[in-house]
Amino acid sequence: MKKIISTGLSVATLTTVSLAANSLTSNPNYIKLKNFKPNPAVKTNQCLICHKVMDPGIVADWQHSKHAKAGIGCVQCHVVPKDYPTSFKSHPFQGKNWTVQITVSSVTCAKCHAKEVTEYLNSGHSRAGAQWIAYNKSGNGILMTKIAYHYESLKGNNPSYGISGKEMVKGIRNDLSVYRANQNNPKLADLNVANLCVQCHGTAIKLDKNGVPSPDTWPSDGIAALYPDGGVGNCLACHTRHKFSAAEARNPASCSNCHLGPDHPDKEIFHSSVHGHIFETNKKNYDFNSKKIIPGKTVRAATCFVCHMSNINGLKSTHNVSLRLKWNLWAPSSFERTGGNETAGWAYWQGGGKIIPGKTVIRGNVKTGNPKGPSRYEKSLFSLSPSNVYKQLFPKKRRCCKSI
């Protein structure tokens, strides 16, 4: 299994965020970066003098990217104000009021891709990291959203945050027995989180006083890593650095990195379907570089991207992967999602990356694809066994025929 998700965030600790506040400008660091003008004397070619030798693979990826063809280089993404939260203060190449950043968050990407970042922040993907750092009122421990209502449990310390972990809501017992066997060893308990959850969810990236990221939190390829400048999300989780290819992100292989395993077998379901069979045997019939998705021309059958994100048949393309999901499939009995946008990612974005234990709370009901929370009727189902769910749904006894 690629990832194990801990659970246990009390809804009672959450407050509501007004959607009107959910704009990129609510993060002061975004405004600072958007208005920042790098010294025109600083050129990408100056960076390449060293990095061609030190990082030839990175440079080659960038040279083959659309960024390079559009004239977007190292300077546009890595040069920041000297007082910026992610500035690398020890880099040998810096000026009077500028330096470089090692960790590039979605705040930087939003300078050019504001629409995409806004859509992402409205999606369930953005919640995947923010739910990790929701504190309880005492400020002790990490609480995870009950992502599947009494779903899974892990305990131990989370090395990403340096605070004691809490025993999560008990869930599936047998599937996690191998992980619980390590709980008597604190180091292995830490690794349960570091090697499982954060690979997909992302870490809360920490920097030292010089702006160098802590090796236990970075590099992070999780979809919703949290950055010191309030940035939420790793665009590179799908558009890997430094090519940042749209075609690569649209390939089912990109989604399959995380959406797999017995707890959410999306990859297995797709590849076992007719759609998956067609894709695997006819990959030449898919043009993921095309801006317009046309059935029979640029794609032969549905893929993750085609259904959840693309502009097929006149739909508007979107980076909000939750937008087209109608049903919540986590509960014993499926129910319709309430709709609306997620709020947890925005809460971190608005805070500019600052978290105050005991005061900062990820706001909004951040349950999976269900921002407004389940109805009272739905809540009653979550506490029932599957057999009792049927009785709840169909309370009247029905007989197919009369007694003889």
**Residue 6 pLDDT greater than 50, yes or no:** no
Which residue from 220, 185, 193 is spatially nearest to 204, judged by alpha carbons?
Answer: 220
Of the listed ranges 154-158, 253-257, 276-280, the one predicted with least confidence: 154-158
Residues contacting 25, CB < 8 A, separation 6+ = 31
pTM of the model as a whole: 0.75
Question: For 69-115, what is each residue's pLDDT tens digit?
Answer: 999 999 999 999 999 999 998 888 888 889 999 999 999 999 999 99
Contacts with 397 (C-beta within 8 Å, 6 or more apart), sequence order: none
pLDDT range class, residue 304, cuts 50, 70, 90: very high
Say if CB 159 and CB 216 are below 8 A apart: yes
**In this predicted structure, what is the pLDDT of residue 99?**
93
**Cα Rg for the chain, rounded, in angstroms?**
23
Q: CA–CA separation, 391 vs 404, rounded Å?
A: 26
Confidence of residue 355 (pLDDT cuts 50, 70, 90): low
Residues 188-245 have pLDDT tens digits of 555 555 666 778 888 888 899 999 998 878 888 889 888 999 999 899 999 999 999 9
pLDDT above 50: residue 39? yes
Highest mean pLDDT among 19-23, 33-37, 260-264, 335-339: 33-37
